[in-house]
Amino acid sequence: MKTIAKALAGSLMASTLLAGAALAQTKEVQMLHWWTSGGEAAALNVLKGDLAKEGFAWKDVPVAGGGGDAAMTALKAMVAAGNYPTASQMLGYTVLDYAAAGVMGDLTETAKKEGWDKAVPAPLQKFSVYKGKWVAAPVNVHSVNWLWINKAVMDKIGGTEPKTFDDLIALLDKAKAAGVIPLALGGQSWQEATMFDSIVLSTGGAEFYKKAFNDLDEASLKSPTMKKAFDNLGRLKAYVDPNYSGRDWNLATAMVIKGDALVQVMGDWAKGEFVAAKKEPGKDFLCYRFPGTDGTVIYNSDMFGMFNVPADRRAAQAALATATLSKSFQSAFNVVKGSVPARTDVPDTAFDACGKKGIADLKSASEKGTLFGSLAQGYGAPPAVANAYKDVVTKFVHDQIKTSDQAVIELVKAINDAK
């Protein structure tokens, strides 16, 4: 939080002078995002179409990179130069950082008119409301603790849904014996850490995950349970093909879609790729919770952070916010994206079996208190901590940290240094 505030402090005066010149057209929505895969682009087209009906042109500012790190670097440069976008795709703590730096706009009037207070779950409001003011519009709720499986390969090897971690290992062994790549993974830090979120939840349970990755409890972080989680990550790594390093997440998903690999551990944005490829759950692919995590949802939420743009651009911003949280858009967009609506009063009628399960799981986890922020995805802890976490996990996966004991030591040190 302090880093962004410090970096932007010197640019706020320049921002006021330059922002008006950045976009002369007031009937234009400039959107910075990292939705560049096929399924993501298709989902974004739903919003473009809705805004076009309202007479607003769309100015796309796509920055490739599934985890959003490159997009956030671009955003920081734009804001520092006073070139505020109408909105930017953002994740939890990053929204709060920019709000604390004083550069976010105010959507409260739109939020009151559209009833966001009652419709948006409290965990999402924690990240979209700052000091009583709505500064971001939640687009969806993703959950990361999913398995995506090619059904034809599953049938071929005689596999069944894995209920425990050992079941998963046995399933991967069957795929390996059949000459199929067992686990599709992209060797990028955010992908590896996203998978590790699920492994930690599976290994230690819901309360352990919360203590370690939301509360940053040091006793949990350095516990034997965390060591066992790293052991389990090491076991899974043995089932990845040799060419995984640097692979984009959607290319890993494509391996499962084509039947080149059996399973991917990934958030439900992966389902958007199956949808874009005209694949159906139950017929072409299977969606299961990561074994040992049923009943708990590790979530993240894409949000459109709205910046403090000049008055003549605020109508476009309000139109974007209204469209984003309309029930019709929430249904149409999330059906395509693979996620579930960010408001709880949207019917699941249009959703497929995986979407219906996602909506039901979110409702249940919210009611039971087992809805926890993903550390890998920017909802478990502030960015500095999340980056430290991702760095340790990726070093372990790529053998720069050799043992689980050393990984635990490095994790505790990195998180403490980042706090």
Q: Which residue is listed with tokens 């910075």?
A: 32
Same domain, 380 and 356: no
Same domain, 198 and 60: no
Digit-coded pLDDT (tens) for 199-254: 999 999 999 999 999 999 999 999 999 999 999 999 999 999 999 999 999 999 99
The amino acid that residue 270 corresponds to is A
Is the pLDDT higher at 135 or at 367?
Answer: 135
Same domain, 358 and 384: no
- Alpha helix (H) ranges present in 115-258? 116-119, 122-128, 151-157, 165-177, 189-204, 206-213, 218-221, 224-237, 249-258
The contacts of residue 34 (CB under 8 Å, 6+ apart) are 62, 63, 64, 65, 66, 67, 68, 70, 71, 89
Provide the pLDDT for residue 2: 47
Distance CA 291, CA 119 (A): 31
CA distances from 412 to 123, 209, 210, 378 (A): 26, 15, 16, 18
Is the pLDDT higher at 283 or at 383?
Answer: 283
Provide the pLDDT for residue 8: 52
Does residue 3 register a pLDDT over 70? no
The amino acid that residue 217 corresponds to is D
Tell me what the mean pLDDT of segment 89-111 comes to. Answer: 96
Residue 134 sits in a domain whose CATH number is 3.40.190.10
Q: Kindly indicate the confidence band of residue 177, based on its pLDDT and cuts at 50, 70 and 90.
A: very high
Same domain, 162 and 266: yes
Digit-coded pLDDT (tens) for 62-77: 998 878 989 999 999 9
Same domain, 135 and 150: no
Of 366, 391, 406, at which residue does a domain stop?
366
Lowest mean pLDDT among 17-21, 189-193, 394-398: 17-21
CA distances from 258 to 39, 244, 247, 280, 354 (A): 16, 16, 16, 13, 19
Selection from 5-14, 17-26, 174-183 with the highest mean pLDDT: 174-183
Same domain, 152 and 136: no
Does residue 133 register a pLDDT over 60? yes
Same domain, 230 and 317: no
Tell me what the mean pLDDT of segment 320-326 comes to. Answer: 96
Same domain, 153 and 74: no
Beta bridge partners of 245: 187
Domain limits for position 84: 2-142+300-366
The contacts of residue 237 (CB under 8 Å, 6+ apart) are 397
Q: DSSP letters along 229-281, please?
A: HHHHHHHHHTTB-TT-BT--HHHHHHHHHHTSEEEEE--TTHHHHHHHTT--B
How many contiguous H segments (helices) and E segments (strands) does the chain have?
Answer: 21, 15
Does residue 293 register a pLDDT over 50? yes
Same domain, 19 and 82: yes
Provide the pLDDT for residue 6: 55
> If residue 298 lies in a helix (H) or strand (E), which one and from where to where?
strand 297-300
> If residue 137 lies in a helix (H) or strand (E), which one and from where to where?
strand 136-138
Number of domains in the chain: 2
Same domain, 254 and 183: yes
Show the tokens assigned to 38.
Answer: 């096929």
Q: Kindly indicate the confidence band of residue 11, based on its pLDDT and cuts at 50, 70 and 90.
A: very low
Beta bridge partners of 409: none
